[in-house]
């Protein structure tokens, strides 16, 4: 999905492509705003009548409304190109979120994240590979599941699929498993975080380390708190930044076995796979740290980031179709589920150790 945004497909002239995006973007905005409206209405009603009720964030409402639309009436063809832009909004939101981080914080928290991410990646790949072999999955499907769970879900699977010449079917299996588990994490992670009384920092780091797809990691963080969402995005972005190294390692592994094309230029390969939006995030953070923006301007950039995320969360619900997931079969899903639960527990352990050592 990372490279398949309709904006880049040679299907029509630029103005026509832009017009084709509008219905879907309007649907994202409508569903996202409905989530925000319902949150405000419910909270207002609860306050007015002095009731006690849990605060259900707009994030969850937007995802729920998206899920309902996707799994009942479905998404008409006219909306599909625009709905596919949810990842563009996610990345734009992350770039703008850079305004809320001082570069020193990014380097400090990013450094802690990087150390935890490195441990998480090694253990995740080892565990998923062993699990895939144990369940008798095809080796390349196992590789895709390992890359998807260790790094960043759908984008990593697509990047790895091209690099190791895996089948489209294997990639679909791996993507379906990662998306289904990502959807489940939205409902389970906040509950576990609250049960364990995790701080915003601790929870955000856990969500960023353990939830595989960037959109779901951001949403899982936002479901806990605004501060947790920021930390989740930072930890997840650190994971994303390492995508090239892991995919390169797999490309070399499969090329050495004669089952993928050799990588001729490793530096170019790394640059090509590097998620460029990370550079945009760092640039905006650098400008904010240098005092380029006033306090009001930083507030405006943070709000623009929230609006962009609102469209993303609607897209998370809209692109999750349970019947499509069911078609992919149980075995890859089972391997993914066992692996993800183990990785979530492992990441939680890493975070708790980091909290105990006062690293956060």
Nearest Cα to Cα of residue 88 among 158, 6, 209, 18: 6
Give the total residue count for the chain.
Answer: 360
Span 135-174, contacts to other proteins by CB under 8 A: 162-163
Alpha carbons 85 and 76: distance in angstroms, whole number: 15
Q: What end-to-end distance do the CA atoms of the chain give, in Å?
A: 33
Q: Binding other proteins by CB under 8 A: which of 60, 137, 284, 311?
A: 284
Q: Tokens at residue 194, please?
A: 């609250």
- CB under 8 A: which stretch of 18-26, 176-184, 278-286, 317-325 binds other proteins? 278-286
Q: Tokens at residue 336, please?
A: 């993914």
Q: Binding other proteins by CB under 8 A: which of 99, 145, 160, 178?
A: 99
296 scored as a contact of other proteins (CB under 8 A): yes
What angle do the packed helices 243-256 and 226-241 form, to 10 degrees?
A: 30
Q: CA-CA distances (angstroms) from residue 206 to 125, 184, 185, 196, 322?
A: 18, 15, 11, 12, 26
Q: Binding other proteins by CB under 8 A: which of 43, 300, 331, 337?
A: 300
28 scored as a contact of other proteins (CB under 8 A): no
86 scored as a contact of other proteins (CB under 8 A): no
Q: Binding other proteins by CB under 8 A: which of 22, 26, 53, 283?
A: 283
309 scored as a contact of other proteins (CB under 8 A): no
196 scored as a contact of other proteins (CB under 8 A): no
Residue carrying the six token digits 């380390």: 209
Q: Binding other proteins by CB under 8 A: which of 61, 65, 88, 206?
A: 88
280 scored as a contact of other proteins (CB under 8 A): yes
Task: For Cα atoms 72, 177, 321, give the angle at the middle one, nearest 5 degrees.
Answer: 10
Alpha carbons 299 and 316: distance in angstroms, whole number: 25
32 versus 339: smaller Cβ distance to other proteins: 32
Residue carrying the six token digits 């990502």: 182
Phi-psi region of 101 (alpha: psi -120 to 50; beta: other; left: phi over 0): beta
102 scored as a contact of other proteins (CB under 8 A): no
Longest Cα pair distance anywhere in the chain, in angstroms?
Answer: 69
- Gyration radius from the chain CA atoms: 20
41 scored as a contact of other proteins (CB under 8 A): no
How many separate helices (H) and strands (E) can be counted in the chain?
Answer: 17, 0
Q: Cβ 263 to other proteins, closest distance in Å?
A: 5
Q: Binding other proteins by CB under 8 A: which of 11, 122, 259, 297?
A: 297
3 versus 188: smaller Cβ distance to other proteins: 3
162 Cα distance to chain centroid: 20
108 scored as a contact of other proteins (CB under 8 A): no
Q: Cβ 278 to other proteins, closest distance in Å?
A: 8
Q: Binding other proteins by CB under 8 A: which of 2, 131, 229, 314?
A: 2
Nearest Cα to Cα of residue 168 among 353, 302, 328: 328
Q: What track of x and - describes contact with other proteins for positions 242 through 261 (by CB under 8 A)?
A: ---------x---------x
Alpha carbons 273 and 136: distance in angstroms, whole number: 29
217 scored as a contact of other proteins (CB under 8 A): no
Alpha carbons 305 and 100: distance in angstroms, whole number: 10
38 scored as a contact of other proteins (CB under 8 A): no
301 scored as a contact of other proteins (CB under 8 A): yes
Per DSSP, 260 falls in state S
- CB under 8 A: which stretch of 96-104, 124-132, 177-185, 332-340 binds other proteins? 96-104
Contacts to other proteins by CB under 8 A: 2-3, 5, 7-8, 87-88, 91-92, 94-96, 98-99, 162-163, 251, 261, 263-266, 268-269, 272, 275-277, 279-280, 283-284, 287, 292-293, 296-297, 299-301, 303-304, 306-307
């Amino acid at each position: 999905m990372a490279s398949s945004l309709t904006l880049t497909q040679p299907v029509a002239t630029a103005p026509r492509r832009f017009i084709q995006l509008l219905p879907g973007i309007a649907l994202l905005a409508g569903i996202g705003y409905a989530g925000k409206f319902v949150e405000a209405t419910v909270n207002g009603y609860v306050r007015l009548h002095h009731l006690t009720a849990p605060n259900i964030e707009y994030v969850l409402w937007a995802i729920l409304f998206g899920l309902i639309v996707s799994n009942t009436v479905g998404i008409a063809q006219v909306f599909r190109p625009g709905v596919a832009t949810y990842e563009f909004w996610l990345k734009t939101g992350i770039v703008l979120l850079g305004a809320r981080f001082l570069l020193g914080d990014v380097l400090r928290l990013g450094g802690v994240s990087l150390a935890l991410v490195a441990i998480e990646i090694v253990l995740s790949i080892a565990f998923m590979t062993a699990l895939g072999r144990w369940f008798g999955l095809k080796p390349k499907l196992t590789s895709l599941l390992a890359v998807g769970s260790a790094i960043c879900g759908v984008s990593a699977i697509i990047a790895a699929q091209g690099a190791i010449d895996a089948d489209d079917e294997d990639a679909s299996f791996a993507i379906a498993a990662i998306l289904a588990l990502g959807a489940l994490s939205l409902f389970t992670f906040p509950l576990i975080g609250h049960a364990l009384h995790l701080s915003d920092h601790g929870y955000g780091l856990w969500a960023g380390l353990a939830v595989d797809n960037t959109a779901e990691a951001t949403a899982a963080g936002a479901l806990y708190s605004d501060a947790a969402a920021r930390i989740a995005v930072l930890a997840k972005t650190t994971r994303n930044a390492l995508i090239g190294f892991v995919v390169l390692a797999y490309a070399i592994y499969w090329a050495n076995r004669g089952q993928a094309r050799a990588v001729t230029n490793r530096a170019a390969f790394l640059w090509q796979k590097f998620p460029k939006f990370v550079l945009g995030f760092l640039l905006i953070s650098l400008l904010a740290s240098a005092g380029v923006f006033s306090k009001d301007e930083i507030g405006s950039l943070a709000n623009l980031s929230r609006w962009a995320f609102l469209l993303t969360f609607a897209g998370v619900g809209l692109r999750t179709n349970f019947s499509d997931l069911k078609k992919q079969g149980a075995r890859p899903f089972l391997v993914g589920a066992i692996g993800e639960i183990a990785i979530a527990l492992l990441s939680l352990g890493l975070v708790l150790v980091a909290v105990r050592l006062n690293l956060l």
